[in-house]
Structure formats: structure tokens, C-alpha cells
Structure 1
Amino acid sequence: MVLTGIFFALTYRGLPRQFIVAQLLAMMVPVVGPAAIWYWDVRVFPRFDEQTVELAMNPEAVHQVTDHYKQVFSSRYWLFTVPWTALVVGIVALNIGYFETLGVGGLGDPVFWVYLLFTGWWGLITGIGFHGAITAIRAIRAVGRLDMEIDPLHPDGLGGLSNVGHLAIWTTMLISLGSLTLPLAFILGTEGGYSALVYLAVGIYVVVIAVSFIYPTAYVNQRAQAIREAELEKRRSKIRQLQNHANDLADGDRPSDQAATMDEVAKRLEIQRLRDEFNEYAQVSLYPLSIGIIVRLVSSILLPVFFILFETFLGRFL
């Protein structure tokens, strides 16, 4: 915010309103981004660990996975952040010609270096956000490989698997903040030079947000189907086994034997219990087949769509 204010103060007379609006939107990313990253790191990811443990056959294995990716997020962020920041700073530097039309004196102008500092800070924040998205995808995949179970009576109505999707939803919402910069990116792409690099950066952003939205959703749904089918098959086989045993008792040579009769009744009751469990599992809705979950998933990608449309109409009114 301070860097943008300095840039505006020194170049205000030469700035078109279209650029001012786009820059103010882009400025919000490094303003809101640190708080969003903190919330994801301190609240969202730990909640993923706590709630996923409830579904795991081996809770300790879940802790090991989440601890590993917690460490990955905090210690390896530079692997993505450094090249990403270099890309966006390079794009701005290469578009010096466009900034000269705004009143910047060239590469040696201190005003331009102020803007490059803003760009570097922006790249750092968004790079960490992208790193969080990649970390979340890897963590969800790693946890999904563990032995999990479905709870048909879970309050979420999804067997408890909405807890796994909670991380994906918040991650998508986190990196959706980057869409605030889309209008500025499109200005550089259309009015500046090196449009291929600009659209490369936009393309990377679109791919990351799409993967963070689609992959965890599809993966969790696939795992939920596999887990449910395994539970159904387990009970289906047990029911058939008990039915055969009960029929053998009913067709035996000692129908008046009280012990045999009680055994048959016990088998019938067990069959009924298993059928009830079978029906409960069969009726469980699979993630994300819930109105609330679908609304949250869709809303998490509405911000980028909105700003793409916003940029489309921005030039007509400014």
C-alpha cells in the first residue's frame, strides 16, 4: 500500500484511470495476502489434520503426513516463489516502455524501482500462495492413499469426507485473491510489450487455480466411491455367508432343537443389522455431492471469473 501510494504520488498526473483502478485492485493482494496465508497456515491446515484423523484407520500415519507437508510449506516455499517472483518482476521490467507512457523516466528512475519493489513483494506473497496450493494438493493425495473409513452417521451427510475437501476449498479461495491482479495483467498484455510472457504468467495462475479446484474434488470423490464400495462389498459378502448358514440351520434334521433355533434367530438378526448398515452406506452422499459444498466450491472460483469479466468491460467505461 505504501509503495503504491509513493508511485501514485510521483506519477499521478500521467496515470489513466484504467491503470489506477487496476493498480488499486492489484495492491490488495499483498495487503490481504499475508493475513490469508497466516490463516491458512495456522487454522485451515491444522484443522485438516484434526478432522482427517477421525476417518483414519491409523491416526498416527495422518499426523506423519500432515507434519511432513507442514514442514514442506514452511521450509520449501522458495522453490516456487523465487522463479515466480523473478518472472513477474522480469515482465514489469521488460514493459518499461509502457511505464514511460505513464511518466516514468526509464529503468534508472527511482519511481520505477519503487514499482519493482511492489512487484517483488506481490510476487513473494502470490508465490507463497501458489506453493500452499501445491502443498495442499500433495497432502490431500498422500492422506487419500491411507486407509480411511466412511461414517454414515456423520453430521456432514457425506460420511465425514467433507473434512478432506475443506482444505481444498480454502486453498482455492486463498489463491483466488490473485485474480485481483488480472485487470492489471491484461493492461500490460494489451498495451505493453512481451505479451507472451504476461499471458504465460496468467496461464500459470489459471492452471494452478483450476488444478487446486478440480483435482482434489475429483480425487476425494474417487476415493470416497472406492471406500464406500469396499464397505458395501464387505457387508454384502457377510450377509450372503450368514444367509447360507441360516438356511442350512432351517433345513437341518433337528428343527426342534432349541439351540439350533436360537442360532438361526441370531443369524437372522445379524443379517438384518448388516442390511441396515448396508443401506446406510449406500445412501451416503459422496463429496462433493452436497448443495453447501458445491456452492462453496463454485464461489471459490467466482472471483477470478468476475475480474476477467471486469477487465473485459473496464476499458469501455474508463
Structure 2
Amino acid sequence: MKNGARIDFRNVRKAYADTTALHDFSLSISEGEFVTILGSSGSGKSTVLNALAGFAPATSGEITIGGESVTYTPPERRNLGMVFQNYSLFPHMSVAQNIAFPLRMRGVKRSEIAAKVDRALHTVRLEKYAARMPKELSGGQQQRVAFARAIVFAPPVLLMDEPLGALDLKLREALQFEIKEIQHLLGCTVVYVTHDQREALAMSDRIVVLKDGRIEQVGTPTEMYDRPQTRFVAQFIGQTNLLKLELNEQTAYLPDVGAQWRADNKADPASARFLSIRPEKLERRQPSEQDLVIEVTVSEAVFLGDVIEYSAQHASGFSVNFREPRASHANVASRGEKIRLAFSPQDAVMVPGH
């Protein structure tokens, strides 16, 4: 079910005095899509959300929701739901009153408000908490109330600004599933802002990675992880090993590990400067003829329950990280042990150097 609205950013720019926070931002979001704007502090991700919400109107360009331009429409007329990191609940109102507030502001009939509030409470599994005050709730419960308040009037677009940032890890992970489940149920379009790449990978239909107010890459979580298009994305999304590349017509030389690799399937040699290899793609196994082999000495082994993460060093001093499922080897590699790691050329990605 899709009850969401399409969103289009066309060449949106946002400037503050002498600083440009957003440069020529263009993006289309489909009805009912869950899109995460991902970036580090100062990347421009909150600027995108504020421009869409109307809190910080665009300096130039156009934003449309459902085909209608809202570039200079006041926030209260955009009919958007919003969830913030700090909950922003009214402390003097009960849970039910907090959820009912946007309905009252929209002039919904009193006879309809109770039914809508009950439905929202049921959606977030807080039926028994309607009469409680915010101070009587846990952080996770307060965030559920904030979420219920944002969806109670069935907005076509829901904006979420780091809503799980103040919660502990276990609760964040639990709410990630709940938010996705509710979004699928409602069919609304979601624009989600976070700096947490694991959160983005877990929740998104597509991810937009920002750096210095510009889009680095747009893609599905799988595309972002398996096929990063820039050095920044390769390092920002998950962990990776970046090996310097020296290319000629026939071969790719990796000076960091003193190895050559036939580059038959290489990317544009004019732009490729690094080889990105995810830690789980480096394996202690018998290599095939096509594999590249790296000889390293184990520095550390960190037990993480289902996996063991290793740090190792090549003789050149280059650090290599690799990861193994706990059950894949009966023996855990120990500090100082010399091992050989193999990987397939198909599991490595060439990326530009910028």
C-alpha cells in the first residue's frame, strides 16, 4: 500500500551568509519510498531536511511534493509529519493529549480525534499508556509517542531527524524494525536523516551519501556497500581496506602489499586510484589462479560473538583488516602468526582517489 507522495529536489542550493550548506542538490524520491540522507556532521543532511520541512527555505532551486511546488510554502502548510531526536513532547500533556495535538491544530472534529488517537496508539503498541505523562515513560516509549503524534493525521511524507540517536543500542535496533514495519503498513514516504551508516543500511530503500553539501552517491544499501563509487563512500559505508593502485594497460600494481593483479575488468584507469576490499572478502583459504594473495602478520584478534575481527600488517607496514565468522575456523589466528589472505578480483572495487 502506498499513501505517500513523490518528492523532487531540483538544483536546490542553501546558503547562510558566506557559507553554502547545500550545493545544487537534485534528487527524486518515489511514493512510499524510505530514503536515508547519510553523512557526517556538517555534511548538509539536516539542511536537506530543513529545506524540505520549510524551516530553512532554499536559497535557489525548487522542491515539489506530490507535484506541487513547496519551495516557499510555510512549514505549517506542507502537511508533513516530523520526528526529532529529542522527542519534543509537551510535558504537561498526557500521551493521548500529545498525540491528539496535531489533530486539534488541524480542526479535526472532537468526535473523530479519539478514534484516530486510539488507532495511532495501537500502531505503536502503547494502548495502555494513553493517560500517562511523558515523565512516566522510558526513552523508547517517549519516542513511540513522538512517532504516533507524527503519523496520527496520516501525512503523505514523514521526516525523521536522527530519531534514535538518544537511545541505547538494543533499543535502537528494536525500533528500527518497528519503524520499517509501520512505514510499510502506512505506505508513507519517509526521509530519514542519520550519521549512523549501520542504521542507514538496515532501514533504507535507498541511501543518499552527502559530503560537504554535495551528493557523493545515491543507491540501494547493497549498491552502496558492494559497489561504492568514491573513496569517501567506500570508507564511510562499513569497513574497508583501501589499497593504492598503479595502473597500466595490462596490470594493476598494488604497492601497499607488493602485488600485481591482472586488471582485465578494471574501471576507467584515468580515475581509478584505489582498490576497495571489504574485510569479510579476505579469507584464509586455498587460493585459485585468479585470486590475489596477501601475506600478513596478525596484530590483534577481537571476539565479537558471531564473528572475529582481525587487524594484521603486511611487511610494508600497511594495515589490513579482515573478518571471519566464528564457525568458519576451529583455530583463531593468534598475535604474531603469519597467514595468507586470498580474495577474488570480483570482490574488489576500483574507486577514484578524490
Greater Cα radius of gyration, structure 1 or 2: 1
Structure ranking higher in strand proportion? 2
Q: Which has the higher contact order (CA 8 A, sep 6+)?
A: 1
User: TM-score, normalised on structure 2?
Assistant: 0.22
User: TM-score, normalised on structure 1?
Assistant: 0.24
Structure ranking higher in helix proportion? 1
